Amino acid sequence: MMATIGTPTSRVDGRAKVTGAAKYAAEFTAPDLVYGVVVNSTMPRGRIVSIDTSRALAVAGVIDVLTHKNRVKMAEKDDDYRDDVAPENGAPFRPLYDDKVHFNYQPVALVVAEDEDTARFAATLVAIDYQAESFTTDLQARREQAIKVDKPVKPRGDAVKALAGAAVRHDAEYFIPAEYHNPMELYGATAVWHHGGKLTVYDKTQGVQNVQRYVCSVFGLKSEDVQVISPFVGGAFGSGLRPQYEVALATMAALKLQRSVRVVLSRAQMYGLCYRPATIERLALGAKQDGALAALTHEAIAMTSQHEAFSRNDIGWGDVLYRSETSRATHRLAKLDVPTPGDMRAPGAATGVYALECAMDELAVALKMDPVELRLRCYSDEDQDKGLPFSSKQLKECYRQAANAFGWPKRSPEPRAMRDGSELVGWGMASGVWEALQMPFASRIVLTANGHVEVSSAASDIGTGTYTIVAQVAADMLGVDIADVTVKLGDSTLPQAQVEGGSWTAASISHAIVNAADDIRARLLLIALDMPDSSLKELKRDEVTLVDGAIASIADPGRKIAISDVMRHGGLERIEKERGSDFAEDDKHAHNTHSAIFAEVKVDEELGIIRVTRVVNAVAAGRILNTKTAASQIMGGVVWGIGMALHEEALIDHRFGRIMNANIAEYHVPVNADVHDIKVIFVEEQDAVINRMGIKGVGEIGIVGVAAAIANAVYHATGKRVRDLPITLDKVVS
């Protein structure tokens, strides 16, 4: 048997997904299943004066129309219902709670019918009168009224004074529009009603136990009466960290009608959910003639809703990446009449590092210095805000390997100096950084006498490959073939798990598995030592390992006993152990992943059409559990970075507070023709401090810095600096 950790192992759930055997939230059925279709508001702020449901109720097959007037009882105070990732003093939006309208596309009614087509038709017949109130959805219009929010980023020195006295200065504003997740699977929930009032809820979510707690708190249900299941998720990217309103509506209808109910949102309705907030980023850099930073200031102004103050860390990444004598960072929020924003892949870093890395490129131009050389001269070996060294940081090696693979030394530094026929060629680069987080997870392992292993946890797999790395770690820790491992995930009745996000799941669940496997090994050794003429006599727990279906001495592999013989001697059919991840607190180091991104663009000189023809992304993220699925994560992040740089933008008509391109036809995302050569390099990085396996996680780091590298390449190709995303042809040729 070969060890699988660190190898390019194919997904263990791949066959189920490509054959259709994998079932998603809206594919589970029940004998009495009925269908709910949401009616959304058509104005951004005000009150509902009246709702006329008579025409809808007259349609054959319509069972009920739920509104704020006839819904079941819900929690009245925000403190009575929160979710695990709610902003401070925030709580998930309560659909159909009262007559207030907070944003356009807010759900205001639910039509329930015997079939979905009937419900969809009847929903068009619900007539609603509103009392409109003044509103604004424009971040620029509210920027002066933005409120400051506390962020754990401390000022260092007098950055304003240092900036004024710097030999070379750069000061500019960058803009990132609101972006939407657009996962392939639509948001949907199937609430199955059982006799006695118990519910099984199938929901598209990144955290089944989070949804269970939310549903129970909102509707006053007992935890033992609600089971939430989400075995497979067709993409989420952060949109499923918080419970979305479809699960509340499906549960509400099931409780009221005492029938099983399915609610699936349309693609357009998903634009009324969370999103990456539009953000204004202002960067000012002051440098000495040799490139050393004397000052760094970063101000972010982001949009949020009127009812929640959502924000993430846009402003602290400069202190992590670059050494600067002084720094100052502030974060402000503009409250608008919109849904609450949410986490989207690398929240805060994708936006903040975009602005930072574009500013560093502009500083390099002002200094007439190579962008890589500038970053090396400003390189920081510690998180300056925390005053802590990194547990590991191989960013210099990322620069070296990515630059060599890309061919960076051949770059002509002057803009518009490189051509390929009628196209201008541009080369740009950027740094990437993300947090290396780990959270308390638990796993249960069952080892049977015939050598089969079952691993279970409430953790989710949102398409990142969690099923596979769980199987890999369990197989290697228990000395069995990966084909003999069954993995169960995404069920609220399984051992505790946090939501899947922040790139923390791989490290967190792997250590829970290792700890449970340790306990199984200890139990097997205890039995083995009791066996007559045991070859493992006098060996201790840390002196044996499980390999090839046997418990064996690490120092002398010939001293071994088959696990089946050990369990037979102990009279055991199975051994079951459940353990948590048990991470030790480390307040002496900063924990981060790092990357270096090099991008090539080709720009049609006359038309301004931009193609990203090559990207090299070198990543230092500790021990890589599965080089195949991890590389896919980085590639996916690069593709999203291409979208962020060149395509994605929610267009809001501020006269109506409504998104005009709430569909995938007009909300542009990269397609196959937009994606060319992507090379992923994993830089070897040993980290004995962060955790016993040296795992960091790769879900987020793949997108960070990609948009900046492309934007910098566009400048190099054209000589035109575009600071507001996306970079469209009109901005290049104007």
Residue 412's alpha-carbon distances to 409, 602, 604, 647, 705, in angstroms, are 8, 15, 19, 27, 22
Burial class (CB in 10 A: 0-12, 13-18, 19+), 662: buried
Please report the pLDDT score of residue 348 as a whole number: 97
Would you put residue 416 in left (φ > 0), alpha (ψ -120 to 50) or beta?
left
The share of the chain scoring above pLDDT 90, in percent, equals: 95
Please report the pLDDT score of residue 534 as a whole number: 96
| 429-471 tens-digit pLDDT | 999 999 999 999 999 999 999 999 999 999 999 999 999 999 9
Residue 387's alpha-carbon distances to 53, 325, 376, 394, 531, in angstroms, are 62, 13, 20, 18, 54
Whether 78 has a pLDDT exceeding 80, the answer reads no
Given 3.90.1170.50, 3.40.50.11740, 3.30.70.270, 3.40.50.1100, which CATH number is that of 21-134+184-266? 3.90.1170.50
Residues 433 and 439 sit within 8 Å (Cβ to Cβ): no
Please report the pLDDT score of residue 81 as a whole number: 72
Please report the pLDDT score of residue 309 as a whole number: 93
Kindly write down the DSSP assignment for every residue of 659-707, as one continuous string.
Answer: ES--STTTS----GGG--EEEEEE-----TTT-TT-B---TTTTTTTHH
The share of the chain scoring above pLDDT 70, in percent, equals: 99
Q: What would the mean pLDDT of 629-652 be, rounded to a whole number? A: 98
| 97-139 tens-digit pLDDT | 999 999 999 999 999 999 999 999 999 999 999 999 999 999 9
| 348-403 tens-digit pLDDT | 999 999 999 999 999 999 999 999 999 999 999 999 999 999 999 999 999 999 99
* Three-class secondary structure of residue 234 per DSSP: coil
Please report the pLDDT score of residue 59 as a whole number: 98
* Three-class secondary structure of residue 519 per DSSP: helix
Residues 349 and 281 sit within 8 Å (Cβ to Cβ): no
Please report the pLDDT score of residue 86 as a whole number: 77
| Distance, CA of 462 to CA of 439 (rounded, Å) | 17
Among the residues of 126-238, which ranges form H helices?
139-142, 159-164, 208-219
Whether 1 has a pLDDT exceeding 60, the answer reads no
Residues 262 and 26 sit within 8 Å (Cβ to Cβ): yes
Active site residue 700: yes
Residue 98's alpha-carbon distances to 49, 67, 71, 72, in angstroms, are 11, 9, 10, 12
pLDDT category at 558 given cuts 50, 70, 90 is very high
Please report the pLDDT score of residue 88 as a whole number: 74
CA angle, residues 368, 374, 378, in degrees to nearest 5: 145
| Distance, CA of 354 to CA of 278 (rounded, Å) | 13
Please report the pLDDT score of residue 386 as a whole number: 94
Q: What would the mean pLDDT of 335-344 be, rounded to a whole number? A: 97
Kindly write down the DSSP assignment for every residue of 14-83, as one continuous string.
Answer: HHHHHHT-S--GGG---TT-EEEEEEE-SSSSEEEEEEE-HHHHTSTTEEEEE-TTTPPP---SGGG---
Provide CB contacts within 8 A for 358, sequence distance 6+. 172, 174, 283, 430, 708, 711, 712, 723
Which class in CATH covers the domain with range 279-437+587-733?
alpha beta
Please report the pLDDT score of residue 322 as a whole number: 98
| 696-723 tens-digit pLDDT | 999 999 999 999 999 999 999 999 999 9
Which class in CATH covers the domain with range 439-580?
alpha beta
| 567-621 tens-digit pLDDT | 999 999 999 999 999 898 899 999 999 999 999 999 999 999 999 999 999 999 9
Would you put residue 121 in left (φ > 0), alpha (ψ -120 to 50) or beta?
alpha
Residues 359 and 168 sit within 8 Å (Cβ to Cβ): no
Residue 19's alpha-carbon distances to 14, 16, 255, 318, in angstroms, are 9, 5, 34, 46
Tokens of 520: 């199984």
Q: Residues spanned by CATH 3.30.365.10 within the chain?
A: 279-437+587-733, 439-580
Whether 649 has a pLDDT exceeding 90, the answer reads yes
What are the φ/ψ torsions at residue 189 (nearest 5 degrees)? -145, 140
Q: Which residue type sits at 453?
A: V
Whether 302 has a pLDDT exceeding 60, the answer reads yes
Q: What would the mean pLDDT of 210-221 be, rounded to a whole number? A: 95
Tokens of 271: 């634009």
What are the φ/ψ torsions at residue 282 (nearest 5 degrees)? -115, 120
* Three-class secondary structure of residue 578 per DSSP: strand
Q: Residues spanned by CATH 3.90.1170.50 within the chain?
A: 21-134+184-266
What are the φ/ψ torsions at residue 326 (nearest 5 degrees)? -140, 155
Active-site residue, from 246, 435, 649, 700: 700
Residues 193 and 32 sit within 8 Å (Cβ to Cβ): yes
